[in-house]
């Protein structure tokens, strides 16, 4: 079952404009939502996260919005830069029973191209 979905496999944006990456989820029990960025031949790198009790978190050029009623979150990058070109993974995590751990479910990713 795909609990975290990224329906756009790719997105192309002009340098300086806003990039909006979208993500939908199905499980209302998730505690946190995270975005990771991945360059070729590297592992994913954490970008920004948001708690399920918040609706917005901002860090520099990156802002994540959470709409719990719609089970939807989005990552806004503004202004977009060519170095932002990468694959972006949406992820959702929840506490795993009483083990004290977190289980993280990843979406399939969206490849962002920022054109100079």
Partner 1 sequence: DTGVSQDPRHKITKRGQNVTFRCDPISEHNRLYWYRQTLGQGPEFLTYFQNEAQLEKSRLLSDRFSAERPKGSFSTLEIQRTEQGDSAMYLCASSLRTSGRGNEQFFGPGTRLTVL
Q: From its phi and psi, is residue 109 left (phi > 0), alpha (psi between -120 and 50) or beta?
A: left
Q: Is 55 in the site for partner 1 (CB under 8 A)?
A: no
Q: By CB under 8 A, name the one of 3, 49, 74, 113 that touches partner 1.
A: 49
Nearest CA to 55 out of 36, 29, 33 is that of 33
Cβ atoms of 95 and 104 closer than 8 Å: no
Of the candidate spans 14-22, 28-36, 64-72, 77-85, the one that interacts with partner 1 by CB under 8 A turns out to be 28-36
Residues that bind partner 1 (CB under 8 A): 4, 6, 9, 31-34, 36, 41-46, 49-51, 89, 91, 93, 96, 99-109
């Amino acid at each position: 079952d795909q609990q975290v979905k990224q329906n756009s496999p790719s997105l192309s944006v002009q340098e300086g404009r806003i990039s909006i990456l979208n993500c939908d989820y199905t499980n209302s029990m998730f505690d946190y939502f995270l975005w990771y960025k991945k360059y070729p031949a590297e592992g994913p790198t954490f970008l920004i996260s948001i708690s399920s009790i918040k609706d917005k978190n901002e860090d520099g050029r990156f802002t994540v919005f959470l709409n719990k009623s719609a089970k939807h979150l989005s990552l806004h990058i503004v202004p977009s830069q060519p170095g932002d070109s990468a694959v972006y993974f949406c992820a959702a995590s929840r506490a795993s029973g009483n083990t004290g751990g977190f289980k993280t479910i990843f979406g399939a990713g969206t490849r962002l191209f920022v054109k100079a």
